[in-house]
Structure 1
Amino acid sequence: MRALVLAIATAAALVTVGPTAPAHAATAAQAAQAAQAAPVGQAAPVASAARAPLPCPKAPAPKVSRPPRPVPPPAVPQDRVVGGEQLDTPGLVAPAGAPAPPAVTATSWLVADLDTGAVLGACGPHEYGTPASTQKLLLAATMLPKLDPKQVVTVTRGDLAIAPGSSAVGLLVGGRYPVETVWLGLLLNSGNEAANVLARLGGGSEGVTGGVRAMNEEARRLGARQTHAVTPSGLDGKGQFTSAYDLALIARACFANPLFRRYTLTERTQIPAQPALKKGGFQIQNENQLIYRYPGALGGKTGFTELARHSYVGAAQRGGRRLVVTLLGAEGRPARGWQQGAQLLDWGFALPRDASVGRLVAPGELDAAEAAPTGSPSPPTATAPWHGPAATAVRRMVEGDWRVIGPVAGGGATLVGLLVAVLVARRRPRSIGRRRA
């Protein structure tokens, strides 16, 4: 049966990729691969190590003095294929025929579609990096659903235990602030003391320690298996790591929250006066220049430490698409982090809508796959996402509605690919129905 499926898919692919087929069309081979792929987090039969990594386009960066980079944890093979086998590379992965991405100084980066979850391209997506203040997005993903924005919190002396000279909003010990104000201080001004306040508040009786534990639990739930938080703010801590892929998962969770979307696009806000402390209020501005200078910007987060260098997460919408970019280990010259992010967003928006090299897994998906008993229906695939009209057609045909063949099948190869996908899907029920992009 498997041989028959592969033979049909191969023949279909040969027809589809002929000179008259559009470069961005979903091929029958992709349909068959999507239907038969290994479960999420498991390597496909052909090891990616056999492929020589493509070098990432690099912009010349100034030499800087920096602390020695921490030794990352040992690579975990199944973590490196989360989202697709093609993402298991220290180099460049991009759709076939795509123009070269811009040269940036970031050591790793990723561009993905916020809505479909398609990964459009990446450089070392699963390489370990240091997050700096982009870690505050994990704090937001964890605590925004838990904390009442109208609650008033009193700042403690312990909340101000941050590295001297590091970014701070200016919250005062004994000051009373609405939680929403603290969130704005975190996301606009990257306040490290604001991170401590929110982690303490969300950590319950364990305080900041409990908050960081909750952040790591949320990272695991999201599928960010290469992320480990030590501090809630992103200030450097031993054993603290993330990856460009993981940051995209975290950012996607953040942008799904309407409060986050409003906070991250806020240009300025007023920190209220503290009459009991005889201190006046003051205004803060959003440090993310993308929201001022990039048409369609949705927001994001900047980050910098001497160890991590510049990290950045940014999102924008154009032509009905919402894309997110993540980058780690960049230098601020010749272009700042947000500018490098903008260049990569431009590159992503120029790609066809169905272009992909992998996908962002859904929250809880990896845990569900690991918990599934042996012999149960396979979880969603780890390979590149197959979505859009073709996927809809497969789903409807699996359910018995064959009327969609005519409108969708633009050629014989596509039709054969759809039939192959339906055949395999019917042998593995729920694999398509459970897929969440």
Structure 2
Amino acid sequence: MTGRRLLCALIGTTLAALLAPPPAAAAAAPVPCPTVRVTPKPSRPPKPTPPPAVPEQKAVGGPDLASPGLVVPAGASRAPAVTASSWLVADLDTGEVLGACGAHEYGTPASVQKLLLAATMIPRLDPKQRVRVTRADLNFEPGSSAVGLLQGGVYSVELLWLGLLLQSGNDAANVLARLGGGSQAGGVRLMNEEARRLGALQTHAVTPSGLDGPGQFTSAYDLALIARACFALPAFQRYTLVERVQVPRQPRATPPDPRGFQIQNENDLIREYDGALGGKTGFTSLARHTYVGAAERGGRRLVVTLLGAEPRPLRGWQQGAALLDWGFAQPAGAGVGRLVSPGSVAAPTPTATPSSEPGPTAHVEAVPRSHSPAPARAPFVVAGVAVVIVLAFALALRAVRRRR
């Protein structure tokens, strides 16, 4: 009996070893992003705690984009070193992602969140409509960016868009959110609905302007989805390239303004970069510098997004320009993922406290990762099993004959 048990155990172990699937390869360590190290100022506030990571959300656009590190196509030239904590370069027309660093890592948006407001409200609002500014519209953080709208002043919606995009006006953001959503809170609710429609599942707006609020986050990938939606709007394309505009006088406002004034576009990319299509700057002490920019060259339109940058040695738009240069140097068709189409990622309505609970799960439209085919093992397995069985019967038969 001992010999038989030993034989059976040997056969079982051998069969299990032959039929077992190959061990999964260990996950490769993330590739560090080329980074310019900058010592943060002592007064910089601590980063807020992001929501728990949801694997389905990080896989939107393709499995490679889930990496917290650098992701570029095989054979790509070295990406430029920047101070941004995360970034992404993509083709506005094909949706191909050319490269990224921490594409789905949470970041604080600052004023680039105004692009979500634009994507949400430009299709809803008549640019010729005139609206009177209320006292509540001017309730925002003192000292933050503003157009200079006056209580009781009357402005066209088109002028408000120009004030939002050129001067990053938080006052204009409040008016446009109220006008499109019935209230500022209603406008923010519509912004979050639009983010989910676009597939920007890591984006949650708390303020219409991008001024910091608890639980307000986005990602470099989400910003690219939002920017792509904006650049699909002819009105946005026109607004974002305007260099300066005259704000009309408001003699009946509080206080009255009998002369009016001029505002300029803060995005230097449109003046300094050949083929620039526009974009948006952003800054808060919590978010640091954020940036979205786009340009056209050789028939290709690329967009760059970056979060958490410092302005030394290059300002945000200059870091964006360096990444655009890198993107244009890459061959068309070489990518690491793609920007999903609006409506292609299904996500349930988020809970009332997205800052403290996991975000919505998603059915992801993902880009399949290329795999090397597994070696064909079936013939070897069959042959191995046959040999073991033959040897087992031979040994068993021999043992029986010896007992007789």
TM-score normalised by length of structure 2:
0.79
Deviation at residue 367 of structure 1 after TM alignment = 1.9
For residues 49 and 125 of structure 1, what CA distance do their matches in structure 2 show? 22
Q: How does 1:232-247 map to 2 (within 5 A)?
A: 232-247=208-223
For residues 315 and 265 of structure 2, what CA distance do their matches in structure 1 show? 16
For residues 211 and 347 of structure 2, what CA distance do their matches in structure 1 show? 32
Gaps of 5+ in 2: 1-22, 350-362, 371-404
Letter aligned with residue 358 of structure 1: G
1:109, 1:325 within 8 Å by CA — same for their partners in 2? Answer: yes
Q: Indicate how the Cα distance of structure 1 residues 315 and 172 shifts in structure 2: closer, same or farther if over 3 A, else same.
A: same
Give the match for residue 186 of structure 2.
210
Give the match for residue 307 of structure 2.
328
Q: Indicate how the Cα distance of structure 1 residues 369 and 230 shifts in structure 2: closer, same or farther if over 3 A, else same.
A: closer
Q: What are the superposed Cα offsets for residues 146-205 of structure 1, whole Å, 9 maximum, x if unpaired?
A: 00000000000001111010000000000000000000000000000100000000112x
Give the match for residue 341 of structure 1.
320
Give the match for residue 75 of structure 2.
97
Letter aligned with residue 110 of structure 1: L
Alignment partner of 1:264 is 2:240:
yes
**RMSD over aligned Cα atoms:** 1.9
Give the match for residue 50 of structure 1.
27
Q: Indicate how the Cα distance of structure 1 residues 196 and 118 shifts in structure 2: closer, same or farther if over 3 A, else same.
A: same
Deviation at residue 382 of structure 1 after TM alignment = 2.8
Three-state SS of the structure 2 residue aligned to 1:220 is helix
Three-state SS of the structure 2 residue aligned to 1:366 is coil
Deviation at residue 288 of structure 1 after TM alignment = 0.1
TM-score normalised by length of structure 1:
0.74
Alignment partner of 1:73 is 2:58:
no
Higher helix proportion: 1
Alignment partner of 1:356 is 2:335:
yes
Three-state SS of the structure 1 residue aligned to 2:342 is coil
Deviation at residue 61 of structure 1 after TM alignment = 1.6
Alignment partner of 1:122 is 2:100:
yes
Deviation at residue 336 of structure 1 after TM alignment = 0.2
Give the match for residue 136 of structure 1.
114
Q: How does 1:21-420 map to 2 (within 5 A)?
A: 50-64=27-41, 65-204=43-182, 207-277=183-253, 278-279=256-257, 280-367=259-346, 381-383=366-368
For residues 265 and 150 of structure 1, what CA distance do their matches in structure 2 show? 19
For residues 150 and 171 of structure 2, what CA distance do their matches in structure 1 show? 10
Deviation at residue 307 of structure 1 after TM alignment = 0.2
For residues 305 and 48 of structure 1, what CA distance do their matches in structure 2 show? 42
Q: Indicate how the Cα distance of structure 1 residues 363 and 171 shifts in structure 2: closer, same or farther if over 3 A, else same.
A: same
Gaps of 5+ in 1: 1-45, 371-377, 386-437
Give identity over the alignment, percent: 73
Three-state SS of the structure 2 residue aligned to 1:99 is coil
Q: Indicate how the Cα distance of structure 1 residues 49 and 120 shifts in structure 2: closer, same or farther if over 3 A, else same.
A: farther
For residues 368 and 315 of structure 2, what CA distance do their matches in structure 1 show? 33
Bigger Rg, which one: 2
Three-state SS of the structure 2 residue aligned to 1:275 is coil
Deviation at residue 50 of structure 1 after TM alignment = 1.2
1:86, 1:383 within 8 Å by CA — same for their partners in 2? Answer: no
Three-state SS of the structure 2 residue aligned to 1:250 is helix
Letter aligned with residue 27 of structure 2: A
Three-state SS of the structure 1 residue aligned to 2:189 is helix
Q: Which runs of 4+ in 1 moved over 6 A?
A: 46-49
